[in-house]
Structure 1
């Protein structure tokens, strides 16, 4: 990780102060509560106001409240919450069909985060949890999401990083990973055979938003004792259908 930028940290500290009290603050309030120089506070508030993150309070000279830009960011976050809610519903429907563990995950940097999960009812099943973070290159959802990135963005997330192994089957060579991602792009599905868990295989398909962008991936995870070539083909078809259903819920319309 790179170093923290003090000016950005202080700006965020100021914005978080608005979560308390009546939602309005003056420059002296900020100076006192954050123990910052008055000149620094004035410059930061001026910058935040210029970008509409804070705005002056009408009829209260010198006081500020949160601006429209923070609302826009919050709205975008709410859209992600919608993805989680819709993903949970579709994951439940897929799990009811196959009685295996179903995940929906998003990509963050070089990791995946599971935002929805429905368990199998079998006694032997994958143990995981929504909110868990795993290296993208070790999972079917992660490889599906990496394969969907533009080349420059993929380079930024993968090049120069240590591709750590979670099991002896994990891909740790960048060249091998790129070959695997090319195959995933070609077939539109990603498979993982005991790469993040020595006892589990998975298949994943892409989830698209209204603009056609891949924003998540849906996977089905199966213990090796229930995995076979016939089962793999069946679950691949089901994962693709589940991902397509979730995409439709997000406003995606596939081309004819």
Structure 2
């Protein structure tokens, strides 16, 4: 890496401050938070405003907010995002950290389509594959995605559908499935216990885009002989972390608490 330019670093520090709070700041607040000289802050803010990266807040003299130039850059970045490519990278990182199989999938009607898969370092027979379609109600990723649908939309998708069984443990009763989805909404994660593969259990977490909408799910699959309560807790945390990382790559920012 080459030498970092201090003035450019400070300019980015200023811009990143606007990601916090209500998104407006004054020059004195910037000076205080970044411990910069007042003249330096004034010069940097003036430069950023001249290039439309910052704009004055109407009816709030002395305060600034992010300008249209930052939106244009963000929009161009979003246009270039590729869920499959980003998903493969994150899935690879998660798989490296746990040694298990990791999937990223999206929902289409009542099926899931796997857009990324990174195999376990162990020999595991899986029914999934990148590009393959499976019934959503039989998979952790699918149940996670079904659980995020509005009730009316879920009813419409399930109406008249036969819930096929992939294993004896698949959820084939619509009422049982709806009860499971209600629990998933509360927990924020989905579990699959040998429902698509008699030898495998999974945990999945939701992936969101920059609008906050759930667009995919990330799961970790484990052979049942390695599935213990401690392992479940560990992999649940990793799935949530991995889904959050992929969401961040897609431009999602969690709401401030």
Quick check: 2:190–2:203 contact (8 Å CA) kept in 1?
A: yes
2:192 corresponding residue in structure 1 = 192
Task: Note closer, same or farther for the CA distance 1:168–1:80 as it changes in structure 2 (3 Å cut).
Answer: farther
CA separation in 2, counterparts of 1:200 and 1:140? 11
The whole-number CA distance in structure 1 between the counterparts of 2:241 and 2:209 is: 15
Q: Deviation at 1:243?
A: 0.2
- Say if 2:178 is the partner of 1:178: yes
Per-residue deviation, 1:92: 0.3
CA contact (8 A) 2:127 2:197 kept: no
Call closer, same or farther: CA 1:163–1:127 in 2, change over 3 Å: closer
Q: Which aligned runs of 4 or more in structure 1 are off by greater than 2 angstroms? A: 78-81, 123-128
Any conservation in 2 of the 1:102–1:117 contact (CA below 8 Å)?
A: yes
Cα separation, 1, equivalents of 2:158 and 2:80: 24
Q: How many residues align?
A: 179
Taking structure 1 as the reference length, what is the TM-score of the superposition? 0.68
Aligned-partner SS, 1:117: strand
**Alpha-carbon separation, structure 2, partners of 1:240 and 1:211:** 19
The 5 A counterparts of 1:64-213 are: 82-124=82-124, 126=126, 128-213=128-213
Whole-angstrom distance in 1 between the partners of 2:172 and 2:97:
34
Q: Is the 8 A contact 1:126 1:223 kept in 2?
A: no
- Cα contact 1:101–1:119 (8 A) shared by 2: yes
1:143–1:190: 8 Å Cα contact kept in structure 2? yes
Mapped to 1, the partners of 2:225 and 2:125 lie a distance apart of 10
- C-alpha distance in 2 between matches for 1:255 and 1:247: 13
Secondary structure (helix, strand or coil) at the match of 1:130 reads coil
CA deviation digits over 1:70-117, x for unaligned, max 9?
xxxxxxxx9697001000000000000000000000000100000001
Q: Is the 8 A contact 1:103 1:218 kept in 2?
A: yes
Distance in 2 separating the partners of 1:159 and 1:128: 26
CA contact (8 A) 1:194 1:200 kept: yes
Say whether the 8 Å CA contact 2:169–2:195 is kept in structure 1. Answer: yes
The CA deviation at 1:125 is 5.1
- Cα distance between partner residues in 2 of 1:111 and 1:133: 6
- In the TM superposition, residue 158 of structure 1 has moved relative to its aligned partner by 1.0
Distance, in Å, in 2 between the alignment partners of 1:235 and 1:196 is 19
CA shift, 1:213, in A, is 0.2
Aligned residue in 2 for 1:243: 243
Assess, with a 3 A threshold, how the Cα gap between structure 1 residues 79 and 219 changes in structure 2: closer, same or farther.
Answer: farther
Asked if the contact 2:114/2:128 (under 8 Å) is kept, the reply is: no
Report if the CA contact (8 A) 2:207-2:215 is conserved.
yes
* Distance of 2:249 and 2:173 partners within structure 1: 37
CA contact (8 A) 2:136 2:142 kept: yes
1:147 CA displacement: 0.2
- The alpha carbon displacement at 1:151 in A equals 1.1
CA RMSD of aligned residues (A): 1.5
